[in-house]
Structure 1
Amino acid sequence: MPRHSFTSSPFVRTLPAVCALAVAMLLSGCASGSTPNSAASQTGPTTAAPTPSASVPAASATPSAAPVYKPADATGKAQNVPVPVMPDLAKENSKAGLEAFIGYYYAQLSYVGETGDMSSWLPLISQDCQLCLRLQESGEDGYKNGRWLAGGKISVPAIEMQWTADTLKTAKVQVIQNQIDYYNADGSIGRPRSEASNDAFALFARFDDGAWTVVDLGVIE
């Protein structure tokens, strides 16, 4: 996501198969018996040769190909982007639960950057989080009128929890974001590239009504 800054907090700034085809081979077999010579004398009963039975495996259903993920580039938007799934742990009011939630929060923010779809990210933020609202505005603008972004994936390699008895919990989060390229609907460059970043963020969250919510966010200067 493109960078922004705001002053409501002393350290605030934004980040941003082929499936194998199963073929059933139908096996068949046959056997032929010999015709006895009419001139030959038969000294005993003849036994017909047994006919082997063919073993025919059951036909297997052809698996449907799974959609293939294609990241956005200069030729078009990302396709079949995997949707982040909230782990059950992220729903717990605990230190481990908040850590899991933070990982999910940034996974959703990365998904927003790739798709413009905020339907699962918006419920994670408070309207009091001014930076979050700016991220929302930026995400909407990036996909307005057919525009799109390429790059900008977010990863969170480290989270340092500051778990206290206070209702408002704090965490320091290392956030790495890849460079972002901006494109207009016709494929032209929309604006100058945003370079890759590696920042330390302060994230403030509160657990209410069985769910975590980000109430403030900012970069640590």
Structure 2
Amino acid sequence: MAPRRPFCCSLLLICLLLLTGCGTSADADPASASTAASASADASAPPPTPDPRPTPASSRGPARNVPPPALPEAAKQNTAEGFEAFTQYWLDSVTYAFGSGDIEPLKLASSSSCQVCGRFIDQVRQLHDEGGWAAGPSWTVRSFTTDMTRDPSRQFLGRYLGIESTSVDYSSDGSIRRSFPGDPSGMSAAMRFSPLAAR
């Protein structure tokens, strides 16, 4: 549990100081009393200020201070370019969710009827509820095609090649839970699209 070690050490220090204070008597060694006082002062010092810099998920911990992906203006247009931009945005939202545990952008960009979306959301919840996190994967959209013709459900269908990076799931103690090799050659995938919602 690497991110929690400093907190555990602080608790241990405070417990030791309490035991020392209970055992101090009037004829105690002045040097020992001075040492205890000094340690007590250190324990009451304000905690270090958290690093405000964006830190992506890695073997050292989940993502911190990383902003969610921004929806491109192009993704708001009912055009082939907008469909492609939205597809990349949705995949970026999956990456962000796995690294940070924040599933809200992914939920907002996904239809409740999207089974793939639901599986990703469930995987993120389970991983982070157990104290874990993931570094990756990320995807890059290539060779996107669509004729922007609505199907009977009034949705658009697009097909693309998704280049997937390697990724690692970590347990709460920082150990590797699972690793995935990714797919640098790309995988064929399809996306159904209504404005601002993956299907």
TM-score normalised to the size of structure 2? 0.65
Structure 2, unaligned runs of 5 or more: 1-50
Equivalent residues in 2 for 1:91-110, closer than 5 Å: 91-110=76-95
Aligned to 2:179: 193
For the pair 1:204 / 2:188, whether they are aligned, the reply is no
For the pair 1:77 / 2:65, whether they are aligned, the reply is no
Aligned to 2:103: 118
> 3-state SS of the aligned residue for 2:130?
helix
Q: Deviations over 1:177-197 (max 9, x none)?
A: 22221211112222x311112
Identity of matched residues, %: 28
Q: Which moved more, 1:116-125 or 1:77-86?
A: 77-86
Matches of 1:182 and 1:165, distance apart in 2: 38
Aligned to 2:29: none
Shift of 1:158: 3.2
Shift of 1:135: 1.1
Shift of 1:99: 2.1
Change (3 A) 1:104 1:151: closer
Contact 2:150/2:157 (CA < 8 Å) preserved in 1?
A: no
Structure richer in helix, relative to its length = 2
> 3-state SS of the aligned residue for 2:174?
coil
> 3-state SS of the aligned residue for 1:143?
helix
For the pair 1:168 / 2:155, whether they are aligned, the reply is yes
The residue type equivalent to 1:199 in the other structure is M
Shift of 1:69: 3.3
Aligned to 2:40: none
Equivalent residues in 2 for 1:1-221, closer than 5 Å: 67-166=52-151, 167-190=154-177, 192-197=178-183, 198-206=186-194, 211-215=195-199
Shift of 1:120: 1.1
Aligned to 2:21: none
Higher relative contact order (Cα pairs below 8 Å, separated by 6+ residues):
1
Matches of 2:166 and 2:89, distance apart in 1: 21
> 3-state SS of the aligned residue for 2:121?
helix
Of structures 1 and 2, the larger Rg is shown by: 1
Shift of 1:133: 0.9
Structure 1, unaligned runs of 5 or more: 1-65, 216-221
The residue type equivalent to 2:169 in the other structure is Y
Shift of 1:108: 1.2
Shift of 1:123: 1.5
The residue type equivalent to 2:198 in the other structure is V
Q: Deviations over 1:9-48 (max 9, x none)?
A: xxxxxxxxxxxxxxxxxxxxxxxxxxxxxxxxxxxxxxxx
Q: Deviations over 1:76-125 (max 9, x none)?
A: 22233242111222122222222221121112122112212111110111
Matches of 2:58 and 2:86, distance apart in 1: 30
